[in-house]
Structure 1
């Protein structure tokens, strides 16, 4: 869809730190991560909410989300992950996306308050993307 930043990333027209690009979706680092290694997983087609996701694509999309969650934890050595999706309310980009956030005990994340951080530079972001990508099973 014209003007959608996530569609631009999927099409390769907008730069991103891509973790994986597969038929079921594309996963890339969030530019304003809750914690470093925060990944967004998006379907390849422009859909706004989970209600728009065709039933036949659910297994592949959520299989990819699960693989990313496992890869974030193993690739970054985090204690676990937080997997979340906003639909319309608090959805900063109107393109369906699933957040996969690395978690560690005592990381300070409470409820739905999502503090944001930044990568020191592109090299640091690229390193996080590569570590997660290498851990994909």
Structure 2
């Protein structure tokens, strides 16, 4: 799911594009899923391996900077899941975990998500 240049901020009660992926209303290539998170391949990858990891229940987490204490558990689970996904993808030589937050951070889809990037020697952040 490549992020375009125009941000989509879901209104209260409105589904994000990632909510629609969780509901299977939009197709995706899921590489990992459990009760709390889903991970799928980006449709416009920036590296040989480019996976998006999302909480299945957005629970107000449109971006990192709005996280509340109640979200601590999902963040911990997402970090663990990112490591598990990297292992399954064969990224033993290294990988990068990125969270874009807000307009100045390059966020376009306002449903918290992590980018798992790897499969090659990654350069500086200008490549993203």
Q: TM-score, normalised by structure 2?
A: 0.71
| 1:38 aligned counterpart, secondary structure | strand
Match of 1:123 in 2: none
Q: TM-score, normalised by structure 1?
A: 0.67
CA contact (8 A) 1:81 1:101 kept: yes
How do 1:1-137 residues align onto structure 2 when only pairs under 5 Å count? 2=14, 4-46=16-58, 47-89=61-103, 90-104=106-120, 107=121, 109-114=123-128
CA contact (8 A) 1:69 1:83 kept: no
Distance 1:30 1:109 in 2: 19
| 1:20 aligned counterpart, secondary structure | strand
User: Segments of 4+ in structure 1 off by > 4 A?
Assistant: none
Deviation, 1:112, is: 3.5
Structure having the higher helix fraction is: 1
Provide structure 2 residue ranges, at least 5 long, that are not aligned to the other structure: 1-12
Taking a change above 3 Å as real, the CA distance of residues 108 and 96 of structure 1, as seen in their structure-2 partners, is closer
Distance 1:62 1:103 in 2: 24
CA RMSD of aligned residues (A): 2.3
